[in-house]
Structure 1
Amino acid sequence: MNSPAFPPSQPAGTPLPDDMAMLRAAAELTRDISTARPALYWPDMLGSASVGYGALAGAILLTGWQAAACAVLAVLALYRALLFIHELTHIHRDALPGFRFAWNSLVGIPLLTPSFMYEGVHTLHHARTRYGTADDPEYLPLALMTPLSLPGFILIALALPFALLFRFAVLVPLGVVIAPLRRLIWARASALSINPAFRRRPPEGLFARMVFWQELGGAAWALALLALSASYGWRPLLTGLCVVSAVALFNQLRTLVAHLWQNEGEQMTVTAQYLDSVNVPPPGIWAELWAPVGLRYHATHHLLPSLPYHALPEAHRRLSQRFGEGSTYAGATYPGLWMLIGRIARSTMRRREARTIAWTPGEA
């Protein structure tokens, strides 16, 4: 189910006003479920990481179908564990004592994706005046680009783990002694962003201190991986890199369908941002695999960025019950992954056809 990008009374091309009734209801209906629950965060993160690393060990030590099955399980479990980085950017610093340190120690640094690569970046994507503009590090008008941009956007994710290994093992140590390189690495290669024009500002205060320790841990881990592989064989490292490549590919597919990617740089109201985002709620079950940790409710998350992931299903249920079919809230609901990929692909094809028609010279 989905609804038009504009209500029937709203001409296309004009600013979409905020649905104030929806915005007020979103805040009022979720006040009692807005607290992060440690009893859910800790077992979920620790369990996902444990299953992921155990399955990764099986993929390294076993052969044949057993190794392949372990690799698939490792991808799914480590993907879920890794996506808690999204929660770290939104929960209050004091909400889950020790969770950030534990996640970085067990997941972020071992997978060479410490939380500084998302913290201070993802919140810019939620800034009302930045979303969908050139200043949004996590936005590209993918639906308005060329058809070839989509496979390129997806497949580039496969190289991410190898690029991260090079970053931490080579570039970070070199940056310690070459200041211009250190500044370049921070500005261009320290953020999980998709906007190639994004340049990151230098870290400050307590965040700079956190960055230092996470960079140190990532560099030490990357160098240890290379040293151990050179001494005892490369198969474990290559297997791990391939698994993490598959994790990155999964995440890139999820990113591709998290929004409709139809904005061309103008500032958008909160309601317009919501309708440019996507919910894939039940009864479909597969979305919990490709969009775990609450990310199947990405549009609702844009309404309520600080709401913990475990509260999003209930928030969606309450808001759906309040507004029903045909409402603005229902307009961000879609049935599944392939439908959304097809929608974006068709949009790029229409844009190509429009450009072709516009380019075709007139009759002599």
Structure 2
Amino acid sequence: MTQSLAFELPDADVSATVARIRLSGVPDDRAMLRAAAELTRDLHTPNKALYWTDCLLSAAIGYAGMATAMFAASPWVAVIGGVIAVLALYRAELFIHEITHLKHSLLPGFRFGWNMLVGIPLLLPSFMYEGIHTIHHARTRYGTDQDPEYLPLARMKPWTLPLFLLVSVLMPIGLLLRFALLSPLSLVFPKLRRLVVARYSGLQINPAFERREPEGEFRRQWFWQELGASLFAITLIGVTVAGILPLRAFLAYIAIVAASAVLNQVRTLVAHLWENEGEPLTVTAQYLDSVNVPEPGFLPYLWAPVGLRYHALHHLLPAVPYHSLGEAHRRLAAALDPSSAYHKANYPTLSGLVVKLAQGTMRQR
């Protein structure tokens, strides 16, 4: 299998290789785009059994770990349970990404089942991502000020990275307040409702982005998901205040949700190079600003599960299910010439990318 030059370098050299990529004016690699379309035509159908089994098993393991963290008598057993819960529930949560791209007729009932089992109990109903993530994939919006999931982090001040991570630590508290307090109040105060929809109803990192009111079928989906999350948040706070749920158990829940959010935030840091300065890019330039961490390597299965280790490839083929991305990568890597842009978005590890990003911010002082 053909690999990129960066794949053969130690982490210390990855930063220098990445830094030489310039996005402005990069033309489309027509051969790459044509191969991506032609070689993967048979990979677009989701495997229903795999989706359900993977999601249900991840959730079951995660909730078992969470229960252990909440109620185990031994602190060490509780910590082990917590670690298992973070990793398993993180994997279950990331099916929200698949829900956003799926044709729901190909996997009937999955969105409803995921929301009932994962989205609502973890205060991450799918409406928080649906309608947001697709904008990130829009040809003319990626990397611009209209992209809800993009900030030029590599060109921002050094303090932005720790702040970026701190926000994720506070995420479960913010979600509790959003659903237990702001949702009910916004039903009474229309101006607050407009604010809640625009600013506090999406998993976005661009603070300038404002969301529009939902319409049609999505409005109905939004309503029942928000209602479910609000009832869950109010109940969780109520049983804790009443002493029915021990404070330790409540704090364990908060810690597990926060740790999953931090893990996802770290993954987000290396999902792109964050080099764009706000201009529209070609598809190839968008691909080069994104990151694959392909096989071999076990750790990406933990920090970038559900196909997200192939994030750059996903930007070429957003409709390919997560379980087919590995095969799509193998086909393209074998078929495309070493000079193809395809090989330039493949990197060996998380650490080199984090170092490169940190170095980029240090140059902005």
Decide whether the 8 Å contact of 1:116 with 1:211 is kept in 2: yes
Alignment pair present for 1:124 and 2:135: yes
Cα distance in structure 2, aligned partners of 1:301 and 1:206: 26
Decide whether the 8 Å contact of 2:23 with 2:288 is kept in 1: no
Decide whether the 8 Å contact of 1:75 with 1:243 is kept in 2: yes
Alignment pair present for 1:223 and 2:240: no
1:198 corresponds in structure 2 to: 209
One-letter code aligned to 1:252: Q
Cα deviation for residue 350 of structure 1 reads 2.2
Alignment pair present for 1:135 and 2:150: no
Alignment pair present for 1:38 and 2:44: no
1:283 corresponds in structure 2 to: 296
Cα distance in structure 1, aligned partners of 2:288 and 2:300: 19
1:58 corresponds in structure 2 to: 68
Cα distance in structure 2, aligned partners of 1:4 and 1:324: 20
| 3-state SS of paired residue (1:73) | helix
Deviations 1:188-236 (A, max 9, x none): 0000000000000000011111111111101111111111112223222
Cα distance in structure 1, aligned partners of 2:38 and 2:363: 41
Cα distance in structure 2, aligned partners of 1:126 and 1:272: 13
Decide whether the 8 Å contact of 1:17 with 1:269 is kept in 2: yes
| 3-state SS of paired residue (1:351) | coil
Alignment pair present for 1:95 and 2:142: no
**Partner of residue 48 from structure 1, selected from 43, 53, 58:** 58
* RMSD, aligned CA: 1.3
Cα distance in structure 2, aligned partners of 1:343 and 1:170: 40
1:19 corresponds in structure 2 to: 29
1:150 corresponds in structure 2 to: 161
**Partner of residue 259 from structure 1, selected from 261, 265, 272:** 272
Cα deviation for residue 4 of structure 1 reads 5.9
**Partner of residue 28 from structure 1, selected from 38, 44, 49:** 38
Segments of 5+ residues of structure 1 without an aligned counterpart are 353-364
| 3-state SS of paired residue (2:222) | helix
Cα distance in structure 1, aligned partners of 2:221 and 2:360: 42
Cα distance in structure 2, aligned partners of 1:215 and 1:4: 41
Decide which moves more: 231-240 or 158-167. 231-240
Cα deviation for residue 5 of structure 1 reads 7.2
1:355 corresponds in structure 2 to: none
One-letter code aligned to 2:364: R
**Partner of residue 104 from structure 1, selected from 87, 101, 115:** 115
| 3-state SS of paired residue (2:261) | helix
One-letter code aligned to 2:102: I
Cα deviation for residue 324 of structure 1 reads 4.7
2:78 corresponds in structure 1 to: 67
| 3-state SS of paired residue (2:170) | helix
Alignment pair present for 1:311 and 2:314: no
| Percentage identity across paired residues of the two chains | 59
Q: Greater relative contact order (Cα 8 A, min sep 6): structure 1 or 2? A: 2
Decide whether the 8 Å contact of 1:6 with 1:16 is kept in 2: no
Aligned length in residues: 348
Segments of 5+ residues of structure 2 without an aligned counterpart are 7-16
Decide whether the 8 Å contact of 2:65 with 2:82 is kept in 1: yes
What is the TM-score when the length of structure 1 is the normalising length? Answer: 0.93
| 3-state SS of paired residue (2:79) | helix
Cα distance in structure 1, aligned partners of 2:123 and 2:158: 31
One-letter code aligned to 1:57: A
| 3-state SS of paired residue (2:363) | helix
What is the TM-score when the length of structure 2 is the normalising length? Answer: 0.93
User: Would the alpha carbon gap of residues 14 and 54 (structure 1) be closer, same or farther in structure 2, given more than 3 Å must change?
Assistant: closer
Cα deviation for residue 93 of structure 1 reads 1.9
Cα distance in structure 2, aligned partners of 1:5 and 1:167: 39
2:182 corresponds in structure 1 to: 171
2:286 corresponds in structure 1 to: 273
| 3-state SS of paired residue (1:89) | helix
